[in-house]
Chain A
Amino acid sequence: MDNLFSLLLLPLISAIVLVFVRSDRAKWVALLLSLINLGLTVPFLLRFDPQAGVQFEQMWVWIERLNVNFHIGLDGISLPLVLLTNGLIPLIIATTDHTRFKGNFYALVLFMQLGLLLVFTALDAFSFYVGWEIALIPIYFICALWGTGDRVATNLKFFIYTFAGSILMLIGILYLYQQTPAGSFEWTAFAGLNLPETTQHWVFWAFFLAFAIKIPILPFHTWQPNTYVQAPAAGTMLLSGIMLKMGVFGLIRWLLPIAPLGVAEYGTLVMTLCVIGIVYASLIAFRQDDAKRLIAYSSIAHVGLISGGVFSLTVDGLQGAMIQMVNHGISVVGLFFVIDLIERRTGSRSLSELGGLASRTPKLAIAFLILVMGAVGLPLTNGFIGEFLLLKGLFGTAGYGLWYAVFGGLTLILGAVYMLRLYQKTMLGELPEQWFSVSDIKSTDVVILGILVVLVVVIGVLPNYLLELSEPAINNLLQQISFRTA
């Protein structure tokens, strides 16, 4: 039962199977297979011991001559993200329109799942890098084949931009490989390297840029709004719900332990970028007319706060980042789904055209409201737990902590402005005549939104189960860093 590899293998097999499913039933086959994978994840959660470090380890020699291993395992930092991935994939599949997509689409989704899981579980830099690129290819095709608008140019930019980051990281990985005494790609070997300070400075940038582009952190974010807007809804959910967490995860798993002195050197700069990004992206979100683009910018603001929490190098900040990655995944998938449901009904995402839908779609309006409240961090929703811990982390940062917290905290106000505007302009006010016949959400959609909304509240009331998973690992990491920078 504790064969972690099976979690990676099943998406791969599923993807291959789905290539051959050509009928309308592809969605349900994909859903079933992804649910099985979610089911397989549960035993790992139940048997996971937060105190015990890396567990369920598996390792095979991959390329003997180069000392490359296929090495995976779970610890407190990767488990929440594995849960997030395996939990969201079935939901995202369920949100799709089964008449529109055939087996090949779902095959790509599941193939991407393999890449994501490999990224989160890899304990070998080579495996990590392979996963990192595997995840990129399917999403590129999903966006390029099923997207809208100027999708080819947008996707090319997205691909080249993120790939440029990856190449920098690859250079970093190869350099580190050469520095290890026995020539190893092992995470432990990398983390154990005591690189000289100047080396750590440039290694920092090699990794940071790759992650910063993926997240994205200001000013490396400009690929994101267009890509999110033009991708099909499921693609946007994959990108924002799960894929961007690869970047944050990368910061925590790889950057912090490898280049702690680089982090110490440039931490203030990055924190400043993150905090500026929160305010900057929030303000831009004020002025968006396209609901999807609005959420895209709000997402930049939110991940800015998450990244700020990582660089605060405090338990609160990192724990906040861990739980907020999960929360952000839940809420952003929910929000994009709501926008998709609105668009399917009205053919529009334009805030100046929409309005008054609550009277026709009361169920959707309620779910939307709870998701909005989660996104603005109302207490007893999941968003509050994350924002509270992240801001507390920012506040506790050595140096300018208070100012990070104050400016980062502006998200409380600015977030309320743009999210409530989004809600008001879609749901409230007079219903335009052309949408008198719009109908409320039904069956599957109710279930999906129901699950998301319940998660929003349950995590908001009982966050400790999640927090406990990652706390020992985070504490351990911080100890390592403080030891190495002392």
Chain B
Amino acid sequence: MNELIWIVPLLPLLGFVFIGTLRNYLPQWLVSLVGCGTVLAAFVASVALFSEVYGARMVGGTGEITQELFTWISVSDFQVSFRFLVDPLSAIMLLIVTGIGFLIHLYSTSYMHKDAGFAKFFSYLNLFIFFMLLLVLGSNYLVMFIGWEGVGLCSYLLIGFWYKNTNYAKAAKKAFVMNRIGDLGFLIALFFMIAHFGTLEFAGVLGQAKLMVSGDATLLIITLLLFVAATGKSAQIPLFTWLPDAMAGPTPVSALIHAATMVTAGIYMIARSNIMFTLSPITMQVIAIIGVATAVVAAFIALTQNDIKKVLAYSTVSQLGYMFLGLGVGAFTGAFFHVLTHAFFKALLFLGAGSVIHAMSDEQDMRNMGGLRKALPITFATMLIGTIAIAGIPPFAGFFSKDEILAYAFVENPVFWVLGLGAALMTAFYMFRLLFMTFSGTFRGTDTQKSHLHESPWPMTTALIVLALLSVVGGALNVPEALHGHHWLANFLHPIFADSAAVSVPFSLDHTTEYLLMAASTIAALAMAAVAYTRYAKSSAERSEKSVNDRGILYRLSYHKLYLDEAYELLITKPLSSLAGAFKQADVKLVDGLVNGVGRMFVTAGNGIRHLQTGHVSFYIFMMVLGVAGIMLYGLIAQLIER
């Protein structure tokens, strides 16, 4: 069976090469067929791998399958191989990447069908799937790093897909550079790991790490650096501002890369390395604080955004913050569970938004929407499900994963719980605001837009329906004990987190408290939905006309994204640019000036000495005598001193 592993990433790679090289000659249907087909085939192979892992887990095994392809880099005793690992954690990720990846490919065949770069788009998507699979499948940190940077490249290519728009091209660059800041952290972490563990294989690194004491300084450095990497890729404070800008890419890209898969890579990586983090309590605190802060800040910004994709983008940042909060408080299963459910409902919401944008002739401003429910019934129904799921209303998927994180947060520190709940309230509000602004009330767009309104074709609605179903039932994967659940996911993932569980205090919360927490978050979410309903469901065109400047300071802060982009510009970009300018000047004037100065010195010296060549023999003789006298004098004085 393990011969199958390499086929999984190879299929989309072949798709990329095939579509990429023949993109000018292939008909659209063939591009669609190859683009979707390779990912579907990879999904089938992934299911086969998953069932093997599942089978092994059922009989109590660890469910690990590894496969080594070849030695990649070898320098003296340091060797890194192209080696793959499928275990419970990567098996689930495989299903997400190829499964949701396939749905989004399918959706794109309709969404992109009028685009001149149709084939290019599919070749990039396939390439992305390839790199994402490498990230997930690598059995060592370096193969993971290939995928890690590779998905960054695809993200760059796809954000800047409509490259003729300069702003989009800039957004793409911003994403790449911010990711690179994190990647440097990853790279330095790799060097520390090599220095201390002598290997980059997960088994070797984690196997040695678990024998170390809690609070070890090396582990602290490694985990902090890895977390820096995660803040870049998974858009956390302070490196999250690229993700909202990344919405410049086509909407399926936002769904696939910037919601369901790539941005969760940071959580995957930390979950994979959990034992190192568990043994670094300081890092865990940092992660929890950054996570909850990101969750709150991003949700706060999402409250007032009018661009439908921007709302979802900030929502993604906020939800990722949740996942990091989960990691930070030791709810590894919960965080990963949220990766899973979030992949369902956020992909759904983005694809729904894409369906709306498609119907609205590329309009993204919700102030110009409204009343779309009738024209887009399937989109509305599925987005409603997605909204309920993300708002954390039971029994939809988001409730269970969010609840698990919040419960752990409560045990760790009630302040985390309060903040987490606050973010959840805001989430419920802005999501229902989005839903009502888009689908309720009266239509506020132009007449041309109105005449074009239509429900999307079947490839798009199919993807929506499947994801909606998953968003409904996804929570069943890990129902908590308090609700007589069976913790299927936790049991399945047990070998991954076993070492961490062994060294940390077991989670315990009496059922009454847990019920109370659940009830509190559910009631609060419902209340927020009601508030959003009263404010936005019946909205007419006028009420959204109120100028931003007439609003309160909080509104303006949220609307202007806390002025973070401006702050970064002022504090980082501008000074660096000035420094670069200063260096540029100094290089010519100072460094090169010095070089020229040395040259000039010789010329000047030559000019001076030239005057001695007078051509008068008497002058030369005079100088000679002077010289001889000088030497004799020197000898005399030297002798005198010696005495």
Contacts and interface: CB of A to CB of B under 8 A. Distances in A.
Contacts of A221: 591
Nearest to A318: B75
Given A160-B599, A412-B184, A379 B146 contact: yes
A485 interface: no
A358 B580 contact: no
Interface in A264-301: 280, 283-284, 286-288
A405 B191 contact: yes
B577 A287 contact: yes
A429 B177 contact: no
A416 to B, nearest CB: 5
B346 interface: no
A206 B379 CA distance: 75
Contacts, number: 126
A428 B160 contact: yes
Nearest to A355: B166
A222 B164 contact: no
B164 A356 contact: yes
A319 B169 contact: no
Contacts of A464: 71-74
Given A420-B177, A430-B166, A467 B145 contact: no
Interface string A331-367: 0000000000000000000000001101100000000
Contacts of A219: 591, 594
A421 interface: yes
Contacts of B584: 284, 287-288
A319 B145 CA distance: 21
A161 B293 CA distance: 56
A416 B180 contact: yes
Interface in B37-75: 71-75
Interface string A398-416: 0000100110011011001
Contacts of A420: 156, 173, 176-177
Contacts of B583: 280, 283-284
B587 A412 contact: no
A308 to B, nearest CB: 14
Contact of A283 (B183, B184, B187, B576): B576
Contacts of A358: 163
Contacts of B71: 464
A395 B180 contact: no
B78 A463 contact: no
A424 B580 contact: no
A429 B166 contact: yes
Interface secondary structure of A, over-half rule: helix
A92 interface: no
B554 interface: no
B75 A431 contact: no
A385 interface: yes
Interface string A363-397: 00000000001000011100011001101100110
Given A283-B580, A287-B584, A409 B184 contact: yes
A428 B580 contact: no
B150 A378 contact: yes
B153 interface: yes
A409 B176 contact: no
B587 A222 contact: yes
A315 interface: yes
Contacts of A427: 163
A417 interface: yes
B595 A467 contact: no
Contacts of B592: 222
Contacts of B75: 315-316, 319, 389, 467, 471
A475 interface: yes
Contacts of B414: none
Interface in B163-212: 163-166, 169-170, 173, 176-177, 180-181, 183-184, 187-188, 191, 194-195
B573 to A, nearest CB: 10
Given A380-B146, A424-B170, A413 B187 contact: no
A420 B169 CA distance: 10
Contacts of B412: none
B519 interface: no
| Nearest 6 Cβ contacts at the A-B interface | A222-B592, A379-B146, A428-B169, A283-B580, A395-B191, A428-B163
Given A280-B587, A373-B153, 10 more contacts: A157-B599, A280-B583, A283-B579, A315-B76, A356-B164, A378-B153, A379-B145, A392-B78, A392-B191, A467-B74
Interface of B: 71-76, 78, 145-146, 149-150, 153, 156, 160, 163-166, 169-170, 173, 176-177, 180-181, 183-184, 187-188, 191, 194-195, 576-577, 579-581, 583-584, 587-588, 591-592, 594-596, 599
Interface of A: 157, 160-161, 219, 221-223, 280, 283-284, 286-288, 315-316, 319, 355-356, 358-359, 373, 378-380, 384-385, 388-389, 391-392, 395-396, 402, 405-406, 409-410, 412-413, 416-417, 420-421, 424, 427-431, 461, 463-464, 467-468, 471, 475
